[in-house]
Structure 1
Amino acid sequence: MCFLAFLSCSRKVSETGSASYYADSFNGRQTASGAIFRQHKKTAAHPSLPFGTKVRVTNLKNGRKVKVHINDRGPFVQGRIIDLSKKSAKKIGMLKDGVIPVTITYKKK
């Protein structure tokens, strides 16, 4: 239980695995949340986190980070824990690699 208003009662959770990013062919399609997918937004797909969850993704190869909103389901490939929009992938420097090791961190509600 938190007694001070400036402290967060939520605990942070992290997962480590691989990240990939959406192909351009998905741009403009409807996501599982009902939103239209846009490559120029900082969004992502996760298999189970609630839609709207804010997630920090850290590229373990270079330490770069990006904050994204979960608005879709996926990826559906063994070992991958998140699929990023192209804008998010570019921000953490993964466009040339395609699939990279990452840690994702978020607050558990």
Structure 2
Amino acid sequence: MYRTLLVAAFSSLVAVSAAQAESGLASYYGGRGGGMTCAHRTRAMGSIVTVTTRSGRSIQCRVNDRGPFVRGRVIDVSVSAARALGMMRSGVVLVSVN
């Protein structure tokens, strides 16, 4: 019974944390590799996040690094993710991260 309660509590905690979205500025970095990856301060390494711009473009990318380290930014995306989001010209865009 204790194990069932523990599993239920953990499941509800995961559901609550997954449902919360962040909004803020995203930038991109020129890292190695060409994958759809990103850097986030708190999301678990290897987790998949959905990044959506105000213009409606949306991608899914894998967290493989910590950052961004610039105040006011919520996520850094790789070059390939930035291309998919259409942010190469501006460099920084307003996004929602789920």
**TM-score category (smaller protein):** 0.7 to 0.9
Write the distance in 2 (CA, Å) between the matches of 1:67 and 1:50.
15
Q: What is the match of residue 98 of structure 1?
A: 91
Q: Percent identity among equivalent residues?
A: 39
Q: What is the match of residue 63 of structure 1?
A: 56
The yes-or-no answer on 1:43 pairing with 2:40 is: no
**Which sections of structure 2, spanning at least 5 residues, go unmatched?**
1-7, 9-13
What is the CA distance between 1:48 and its match in structure 2? 1.3
Equivalent residues, number: 84
- For the pair shown, the structure with the greater C-alpha radius of gyration is 2
Write the distance in 1 (CA, Å) between the matches of 2:56 and 2:85.
8
Q: What is the match of residue 20 of structure 1?
A: 27
List, as ranges, runs of 4+ consecutive aligned residues in structure 1 with deviation greater than 4 Å: none
Q: What is the match of residue 81 of structure 1?
A: 74
Amino acid at match of 2:73: R
**Which sections of structure 1, spanning at least 5 residues, go unmatched?**
2-8, 28-37
Which whole-Å deviations, capped at 9, do the CAs of 1:53-108 have from their partners, x for residues lacking one? 11000011x11000001010000001100000011111111000100100001xxx
Write the distance in 1 (CA, Å) between the matches of 2:57 and 2:64.
22
The yes-or-no answer on 1:52 pairing with 2:57 is: no
Comparing both structures, which one devotes a greater share of its residues to helix?
A: 2
